[in-house]
Copies of this chain bind each other. A is one copy, B any other.
């Protein structure tokens, strides 16, 4: 009798899991492929295909503070790979301790490849285009394209690596430097227990997490937080709120007053939340989104259940061997703090 009961329970769980997976897939949720070739097809850039040599070079550039005017601020300063891919502050602070003038929160670089477009207002079409922005923005790295090119070209090691990556006739331009950084960012994807579940491993999520996924779907979160990134699309998320007015500060979103839906991957590691970084508690963020975007007063139970699911989106980060950067030479532009 006991054995039959266990067998029945097991079958029920199996069926429930199977159907939950289908339900998630039908709701538009997509897992990071566990097949490498399939993943590469998804994240690669046909214009500049990923190779190990380019990625290794891109990593160095990503971590190199000398690309900034001061010599102190690298891409990793605001998109810290050790901190869930962002900086953990409300709004970015950059050159001369200048706060982001729109008071917008630095989005995580992890899984940013799954965003349809880049920046909160979607003004860059891909990671390569995005990577140019912060280098030139005065409140961020405050450099000029000439500065960035000069820095890179001043070091024979960088020159050699560009040749190894792109061929001996390569022309090292600001655009190619940004392309190489963007290329590195493409490989920063973090598959999680959630992906394993959607890829067919029925036991990858526990009962509570499955329940949370169900709540997430049923409550309607999945309307915007969908696709590979559980977010990443434009034209879905009215910045001032659909059902409740949201205080957006000085930021206006795109020309239609929209902001990009943020990814929920690694969300437990990327407080504070929202484009303005004003909410520090994840449960509060869930509750607020219910009110603002769904017109729903989510119960504490539902909020807690969704939070358990979101925790299962914590991904396995690629191992990053900290790059030893080429030494500056006498040709390297000197840091300028002003």
Contact = CB atoms under 8 A, between A and B. Distances in A.
Interface size class of A (residues with CB under 8 A): 35 or more
Given A87-B72, A271-B328, A65 B93 contact: no
Given A70-B89, A320-B321, A97 B96 contact: yes
Contacts of A321: 319-322
Given A97-B96, A321-B320, A87 B71 contact: yes
A148 to B, nearest CB: 16
Contacts of A99: 337
A268 interface: yes
A72 B82 contact: no
Contacts of A325: 82-83
A192 to B, nearest CB: 14
A324 to B, nearest CB: 6
A281 interface: yes
A96 B269 CA distance: 25
A93 B81 contact: no
A322 B324 contact: no
Contacts of A323: 82
A271 B330 CA distance: 9
A237 interface: no
Contacts of A88: 65-66, 71, 328, 335
- Classify the interface of chain A: helix, strand, loop or mixed: loop
A322 B321 CA distance: 6
Contacts of A97: 96-97, 337
Contacts of A320: 321-322
Nearest to A281: B330
A53 interface: no
Contacts of A327: 84, 268-269, 271
Contacts of A84: 327
A273 interface: no
Interface in A73-109: 77, 80-84, 87-90, 93, 96-97, 99
Contacts of A324: 81-82, 317
Contacts of A281: 330
A166 interface: no
Interface in A257-294: 268-269, 271, 280-281
Contacts of A171: none
Contacts of A64: 82
A334 B70 CA distance: 26
B93 A337 contact: yes
Contacts of A71: 87-89
A97 B70 CA distance: 10
Interface of A: 63-66, 70-72, 77, 80-84, 87-90, 93, 96-97, 99, 268-269, 271, 280-281, 317, 319-325, 327-328, 330, 334-335, 337
13 contacts: A63-B82, A65-B87, A72-B77, A72-B89, A81-B322, A83-B325, A84-B327, A99-B337, A271-B327, A280-B334, A281-B330, A319-B321, A321-B322
Given A65-B83, A82-B325, A281-B330, 16 more contacts: A63-B82, A65-B87, A71-B88, A71-B89, A72-B77, A72-B87, A81-B324, A82-B324, A83-B325, A84-B327, A88-B328, A89-B337, A96-B97, A280-B330, A320-B321, A321-B322
